[in-house]
Amino acid sequence: MVEPGFLTDDQLKAKLLQYGVKAGPIVATTRVLYEKKLKRLLEGSAQTTQHKVNGTGDAGLYSDCEEEDGMEEDEEKDSESALPLSESNSLAETTKPESREPVSDVLSEMFPNAEKTPTGIFATKRRSIKGAAGRPVQFKYPEMLPLSPTTLERQEIQQRRVPLWVQLVVFLLVLSLLYLIYCSMDEPLSSPVSALLGGLEEAAHICSSYATDIIS
Amino acid sequence: MSSTSQKHKDFVAEPMGEKSVMALAGIGEVLGRRLEEKGFDKAYVVLGQFLVLKKDEELFREWLKDTSGANSKQQGDCYGCLKEWCDSFL
Protein backbone atom coordinates (compact mmCIF):
# COMPACT_ATOMS: atom_id res chain seq x y z
CA MET A 1 0.00 0.00 0.00
CA VAL A 2 1.27 3.41 -0.93
CA GLU A 3 2.14 5.66 1.98
CA PRO A 4 1.02 9.18 1.10
CA GLY A 5 3.63 10.66 3.38
CA PHE A 6 6.44 9.37 1.23
CA LEU A 7 5.19 10.57 -2.11
CA THR A 8 6.55 13.63 -3.83
CA ASP A 9 4.14 16.47 -4.54
CA ASP A 10 3.77 15.40 -8.14
CA GLN A 11 3.21 11.77 -7.24
CA LEU A 12 0.61 12.77 -4.69
CA LYS A 13 -1.16 14.86 -7.26
CA ALA A 14 -1.07 12.01 -9.79
CA LYS A 15 -2.42 9.53 -7.25
CA LEU A 16 -5.28 11.83 -6.38
CA LEU A 17 -6.04 12.22 -10.06
CA GLN A 18 -6.37 8.45 -10.34
CA TYR A 19 -9.23 8.70 -7.89
CA GLY A 20 -10.79 11.50 -9.85
CA VAL A 21 -9.65 14.27 -7.54
CA LYS A 22 -8.22 17.29 -9.29
CA ALA A 23 -5.94 18.62 -6.59
CA GLY A 24 -4.94 22.24 -6.36
CA PRO A 25 -1.38 23.43 -5.67
CA ILE A 26 0.36 21.18 -3.21
CA VAL A 27 2.18 23.60 -0.96
CA ALA A 28 3.15 23.46 2.68
CA THR A 29 -0.27 24.21 4.05
CA THR A 30 -2.19 22.03 1.62
CA ARG A 31 0.12 19.05 1.55
CA VAL A 32 -1.20 17.48 4.72
CA LEU A 33 -4.81 17.87 3.66
CA TYR A 34 -4.19 16.15 0.35
CA GLU A 35 -2.27 13.36 2.05
CA LYS A 36 -5.19 12.74 4.37
CA LYS A 37 -7.56 12.77 1.43
CA LEU A 38 -5.49 10.19 -0.38
CA LYS A 39 -5.35 8.04 2.75
CA ARG A 40 -9.12 8.15 2.99
CA LEU A 41 -9.48 7.20 -0.64
CA LEU A 42 -7.05 4.32 -0.29
CA GLU A 43 -8.79 3.02 2.80
CA GLY A 44 -12.15 3.51 1.22
CA SER A 45 -11.29 1.45 -1.80
CA ALA A 46 -9.69 -1.26 0.32
CA GLN A 47 -12.49 -1.64 2.85
CA THR A 48 -15.77 -1.58 1.01
CA THR A 49 -17.99 -3.91 2.97
CA GLN A 50 -16.69 -3.80 6.50
CA HIS A 51 -18.23 -0.88 8.26
CA LYS A 52 -21.62 -0.80 9.90
CA VAL A 53 -24.23 1.64 8.91
CA ASN A 54 -24.78 4.09 11.69
CA GLY A 55 -27.34 6.59 10.57
CA THR A 56 -27.71 8.30 13.91
CA GLY A 57 -24.00 8.65 14.28
CA ASP A 58 -23.70 10.28 10.94
CA ALA A 59 -26.60 12.59 11.56
CA GLY A 60 -24.85 13.50 14.77
CA LEU A 61 -21.75 14.34 12.77
CA TYR A 62 -23.43 17.16 10.96
CA SER A 63 -26.33 18.04 13.21
CA ASP A 64 -26.40 21.55 14.49
CA CYS A 65 -28.67 20.84 17.42
CA GLU A 66 -25.96 21.01 20.06
CA GLU A 67 -24.13 23.74 18.26
CA GLU A 68 -26.92 26.18 17.47
CA ASP A 69 -28.02 28.61 20.21
CA GLY A 70 -26.17 31.44 18.51
CA MET A 71 -22.86 29.76 18.98
CA GLU A 72 -20.60 31.43 16.51
CA GLU A 73 -18.38 32.71 19.26
CA ASP A 74 -19.00 30.31 22.11
CA GLU A 75 -15.81 28.92 23.56
CA GLU A 76 -16.97 26.06 25.77
CA LYS A 77 -18.94 24.21 23.15
CA ASP A 78 -16.00 23.90 20.77
CA SER A 79 -14.39 21.03 22.61
CA GLU A 80 -17.70 19.61 23.78
CA SER A 81 -19.13 19.20 20.32
CA ALA A 82 -15.94 17.67 19.00
CA LEU A 83 -15.74 14.90 21.56
CA PRO A 84 -19.07 13.10 21.09
CA LEU A 85 -18.73 13.48 17.34
CA SER A 86 -15.30 11.89 17.21
CA GLU A 87 -16.66 8.71 18.73
CA SER A 88 -19.54 8.40 16.29
CA ASN A 89 -17.27 9.25 13.41
CA SER A 90 -14.97 6.29 13.93
CA LEU A 91 -17.90 3.97 13.25
CA ALA A 92 -19.29 5.79 10.28
CA GLU A 93 -16.08 6.47 8.42
CA THR A 94 -16.45 4.55 5.17
CA THR A 95 -19.70 3.06 3.91
CA LYS A 96 -21.33 2.27 0.60
CA PRO A 97 -23.52 4.97 -0.94
CA GLU A 98 -26.51 2.72 -1.66
CA SER A 99 -26.82 1.45 1.89
CA ARG A 100 -26.81 5.05 3.19
CA GLU A 101 -29.25 6.68 0.81
CA PRO A 102 -31.15 8.88 3.25
CA VAL A 103 -28.05 10.23 4.97
CA SER A 104 -26.04 10.82 1.80
CA ASP A 105 -28.94 12.81 0.39
CA VAL A 106 -28.81 15.04 3.41
CA LEU A 107 -25.11 15.43 2.88
CA SER A 108 -25.43 16.24 -0.79
CA GLU A 109 -28.06 18.78 0.17
CA MET A 110 -25.75 20.34 2.64
CA PHE A 111 -22.83 20.32 0.27
CA PRO A 112 -24.26 20.81 -3.21
CA ASN A 113 -20.94 21.87 -4.64
CA ALA A 114 -18.85 19.05 -3.22
CA GLU A 115 -17.04 16.78 -5.63
CA LYS A 116 -18.41 13.29 -6.03
CA THR A 117 -15.81 11.03 -4.53
CA PRO A 118 -15.66 7.47 -5.90
CA THR A 119 -16.78 6.03 -2.59
CA GLY A 120 -19.52 8.61 -2.12
CA ILE A 121 -17.98 9.76 1.12
CA PHE A 122 -18.67 13.32 2.13
CA ALA A 123 -17.87 13.02 5.78
CA THR A 124 -14.67 14.52 7.03
CA LYS A 125 -12.86 12.59 9.66
CA ARG A 126 -12.83 14.48 12.89
CA ARG A 127 -9.56 14.52 14.71
CA SER A 128 -8.97 15.39 18.31
CA ILE A 129 -8.64 19.08 18.95
CA LYS A 130 -5.13 18.74 20.34
CA GLY A 131 -4.06 17.98 16.79
CA ALA A 132 -4.89 21.56 15.92
CA ALA A 133 -2.51 22.92 18.49
CA GLY A 134 0.19 20.42 17.67
CA ARG A 135 0.17 21.02 13.97
CA PRO A 136 3.42 22.68 13.03
CA VAL A 137 2.02 24.74 10.21
CA GLN A 138 3.15 28.27 10.78
CA PHE A 139 6.05 27.93 13.15
CA LYS A 140 8.66 27.88 10.48
CA TYR A 141 10.51 30.94 11.66
CA PRO A 142 10.35 31.00 15.44
CA GLU A 143 13.92 32.27 15.72
CA MET A 144 13.25 35.31 13.55
CA LEU A 145 10.90 36.94 16.02
CA PRO A 146 13.35 38.02 18.70
CA LEU A 147 15.79 39.21 16.07
CA SER A 148 13.72 42.17 14.89
CA PRO A 149 15.75 45.37 14.41
CA THR A 150 14.24 47.21 17.36
CA THR A 151 14.92 44.39 19.76
CA LEU A 152 18.46 44.12 18.47
CA GLU A 153 18.99 47.83 19.06
CA ARG A 154 17.49 47.58 22.50
CA GLN A 155 19.78 44.68 23.32
CA GLU A 156 22.78 46.67 22.13
CA ILE A 157 21.82 49.69 24.17
CA GLN A 158 21.26 47.52 27.21
CA GLN A 159 24.68 46.03 26.73
CA ARG A 160 26.23 49.46 26.55
CA ARG A 161 24.33 50.87 29.55
CA VAL A 162 26.64 49.57 32.23
CA PRO A 163 29.92 50.63 30.64
CA LEU A 164 28.53 54.13 30.03
CA TRP A 165 28.17 54.82 33.73
CA VAL A 166 31.55 53.31 34.35
CA GLN A 167 33.01 55.59 31.72
CA LEU A 168 31.56 58.67 33.40
CA VAL A 169 32.84 57.68 36.81
CA VAL A 170 36.28 56.99 35.45
CA PHE A 171 36.27 60.31 33.67
CA LEU A 172 35.41 62.20 36.84
CA LEU A 173 38.05 60.36 38.77
CA VAL A 174 40.70 61.25 36.25
CA LEU A 175 39.60 64.91 36.30
CA SER A 176 39.82 65.12 40.05
CA LEU A 177 43.16 63.41 40.00
CA LEU A 178 44.58 65.90 37.54
CA TYR A 179 43.22 68.82 39.52
CA LEU A 180 44.85 67.53 42.66
CA ILE A 181 48.15 67.14 40.85
CA TYR A 182 47.86 70.67 39.49
CA CYS A 183 47.14 72.07 42.93
CA SER A 184 49.99 70.26 44.52
CA MET A 185 52.52 71.61 42.07
CA ASP A 186 54.80 74.40 43.34
CA GLU A 187 55.91 75.68 40.00
CA PRO A 188 53.30 76.87 37.59
CA LEU A 189 53.08 74.87 34.39
CA SER A 190 54.59 76.51 31.37
CA SER A 191 51.63 75.95 29.13
CA PRO A 192 49.44 78.29 27.16
CA VAL A 193 46.59 77.46 29.53
CA SER A 194 48.50 78.69 32.54
CA ALA A 195 49.59 81.74 30.61
CA LEU A 196 45.96 82.47 29.83
CA LEU A 197 45.04 81.84 33.45
CA GLY A 198 47.77 84.22 34.51
CA GLY A 199 46.49 86.79 32.10
CA LEU A 200 42.99 86.37 33.43
CA GLU A 201 44.21 86.87 36.98
CA GLU A 202 46.00 90.04 36.01
CA ALA A 203 42.95 91.37 34.25
CA ALA A 204 40.88 90.63 37.32
CA HIS A 205 43.37 92.54 39.47
CA ILE A 206 43.28 95.52 37.15
CA CYS A 207 39.51 95.54 37.09
CA SER A 208 39.23 95.41 40.82
CA SER A 209 41.81 98.23 41.21
CA TYR A 210 39.88 100.36 38.74
CA ALA A 211 36.72 99.66 40.65
CA THR A 212 38.29 100.67 43.93
CA ASP A 213 39.70 103.83 42.28
CA ILE A 214 36.31 104.80 40.96
CA ILE A 215 34.61 104.19 44.25
CA SER A 216 37.12 106.05 46.28
CA MET B 1 -30.04 27.22 3.01
CA SER B 2 -29.83 28.56 6.52
CA SER B 3 -30.16 32.26 6.92
CA THR B 4 -26.93 34.23 7.07
CA SER B 5 -25.88 36.12 10.16
CA GLN B 6 -25.32 39.83 10.41
CA LYS B 7 -21.61 39.17 10.58
CA HIS B 8 -21.78 37.36 7.28
CA LYS B 9 -23.71 40.18 5.68
CA ASP B 10 -21.27 42.77 6.96
CA PHE B 11 -18.31 40.86 5.64
CA VAL B 12 -19.61 40.19 2.14
CA ALA B 13 -20.85 43.73 1.70
CA GLU B 14 -17.44 45.28 1.06
CA PRO B 15 -13.81 44.43 0.21
CA MET B 16 -12.17 42.91 3.25
CA GLY B 17 -9.14 45.18 3.20
CA GLU B 18 -7.24 44.82 6.46
CA LYS B 19 -10.08 43.32 8.47
CA SER B 20 -9.05 41.04 11.29
CA VAL B 21 -9.63 37.33 11.00
CA MET B 22 -12.36 37.69 13.64
CA ALA B 23 -14.46 39.61 11.15
CA LEU B 24 -15.09 36.35 9.31
CA ALA B 25 -18.42 34.71 9.95
CA GLY B 26 -18.03 31.72 12.23
CA ILE B 27 -14.75 32.99 13.65
CA GLY B 28 -15.08 34.47 17.09
CA GLU B 29 -12.55 35.37 19.74
CA VAL B 30 -11.32 31.91 20.59
CA LEU B 31 -10.98 30.64 17.03
CA GLY B 32 -9.60 33.99 15.92
CA ARG B 33 -6.90 33.88 18.54
CA ARG B 34 -5.93 30.35 17.55
CA LEU B 35 -5.72 31.37 13.92
CA GLU B 36 -3.62 34.40 14.81
CA GLU B 37 -1.21 32.21 16.70
CA LYS B 38 -0.75 30.15 13.58
CA GLY B 39 0.01 33.30 11.62
CA PHE B 40 -3.41 33.89 10.09
CA ASP B 41 -3.92 37.28 11.63
CA LYS B 42 -5.87 38.96 8.84
CA ALA B 43 -8.92 37.83 6.92
CA TYR B 44 -7.01 38.02 3.66
CA VAL B 45 -4.54 35.39 4.87
CA VAL B 46 -7.40 32.97 5.45
CA LEU B 47 -8.69 33.99 2.05
CA GLY B 48 -5.30 33.02 0.66
CA GLN B 49 -5.61 29.58 2.16
CA PHE B 50 -9.15 29.31 0.84
CA LEU B 51 -7.99 30.15 -2.66
CA VAL B 52 -4.96 27.91 -2.62
CA LEU B 53 -7.34 25.06 -1.76
CA LYS B 54 -9.18 26.08 -4.93
CA LYS B 55 -12.24 27.05 -2.91
CA ASP B 56 -12.87 23.39 -2.20
CA GLU B 57 -15.35 23.16 0.63
CA GLU B 58 -14.30 19.84 2.07
CA LEU B 59 -10.60 20.72 2.15
CA PHE B 60 -11.18 24.19 3.52
CA ARG B 61 -13.44 22.92 6.27
CA GLU B 62 -10.90 20.29 7.21
CA TRP B 63 -8.09 22.81 7.21
CA LEU B 64 -10.11 25.17 9.38
CA LYS B 65 -10.92 22.39 11.81
CA ASP B 66 -7.27 21.33 12.02
CA THR B 67 -5.97 24.83 12.42
CA SER B 68 -8.50 26.36 14.79
CA GLY B 69 -10.68 23.54 16.06
CA ALA B 70 -13.81 24.99 14.50
CA ASN B 71 -16.93 22.89 14.70
CA SER B 72 -19.08 22.02 11.73
CA LYS B 73 -21.32 25.05 11.93
CA GLN B 74 -18.40 27.44 12.27
CA GLN B 75 -16.64 25.80 9.36
CA GLY B 76 -19.71 26.17 7.24
CA ASP B 77 -20.22 29.79 8.18
CA CYS B 78 -16.66 30.69 7.38
CA TYR B 79 -16.70 28.81 4.11
CA GLY B 80 -19.96 30.39 3.04
CA CYS B 81 -18.75 33.82 4.00
CA LEU B 82 -15.55 33.55 2.00
CA LYS B 83 -17.26 31.94 -0.96
CA GLU B 84 -19.82 34.67 -1.20
CA TRP B 85 -17.15 37.33 -0.81
CA CYS B 86 -15.20 35.78 -3.67
CA ASP B 87 -18.30 35.66 -5.84
CA SER B 88 -18.74 39.38 -5.38
CA PHE B 89 -15.20 40.71 -5.38
CA LEU B 90 -12.75 38.24 -6.74
pLDDT given at position A105: 62
Give me the number of domains chain A comprises.
2
Question: Does residue B23 sit within a domain?
Answer: yes
Q: What is the mean pLDDT of residues A140-169?
A: 71
Structural domain of residue A205, as residue ranges?
A: 164-214
Question: Are A114 and B77 within 8 A, CB to CB?
Answer: no
For the entire predicted model, the pTM comes to: 0.45
**Is residue B58 a contact partner of residue A122, using CB atoms and an 8 Å limit?**
yes
In tens, the pLDDT along A26-78 reads 888 889 999 999 999 998 888 764 554 444 444 445 545 444 444 444 444 44
Give me the number of domains chain B comprises.
1
pLDDT given at position A88: 46
For residue B20, the cross-strand partners are B42
Instruction: Kindly identify which residue of chain B lies nearest to residue A133, measuring between CA atoms.
Output: B67
Q: What is the CATH number of the domain that holds B27?
A: 1.10.150.40
Question: Out of B7, B26, B71, whose CB is closest to A81?
Answer: B71
Question: Does residue B74 sit within a domain?
Answer: yes
Q: Specify the amino acid at residue A117.
A: T
Question: Does residue A60 sit within a domain?
Answer: no
Buried b (16+ CB within 10 A) or exposed e, B29-56: ebbbebbbebebbbbbbbbebbbbbebb
Q: How distant is the Cα of B65 from the closest Cα of chain A, in angstroms? A: 7
* Nearest to B39, CA basis, from A186, A60, A67, A144: A144
What is the ipTM for the molecules in this complex? 0.82
Question: Does residue B18 sit within a domain?
Answer: yes
**Is residue A21 a contact partner of residue A37, using CB atoms and an 8 Å limit?**
yes
Question: Does residue A61 sit within a domain?
Answer: no
Average predicted confidence (pLDDT) for chain A: 69
Question: Are B69 and A37 within 8 A, CB to CB?
Answer: no
Structural domain of residue B40, as residue ranges?
A: 6-89
Question: Does residue B1 sit within a domain?
Answer: no
Out of A98-102, A105-109, A190-194, give the one with best mean pLDDT.
A190-194
Cα(A165)–Cα(A170) distance, rounded to whole angstroms? 9
Question: Out of A72, A77, A135, whose CB is closest to B67?
Answer: A135
Question: Does residue B13 sit within a domain?
Answer: yes
Question: Out of B31, B38, B52, whose CB is closest to A27?
Answer: B52
Question: Does residue A182 sit within a domain?
Answer: yes
Question: Does residue A158 sit within a domain?
Answer: no
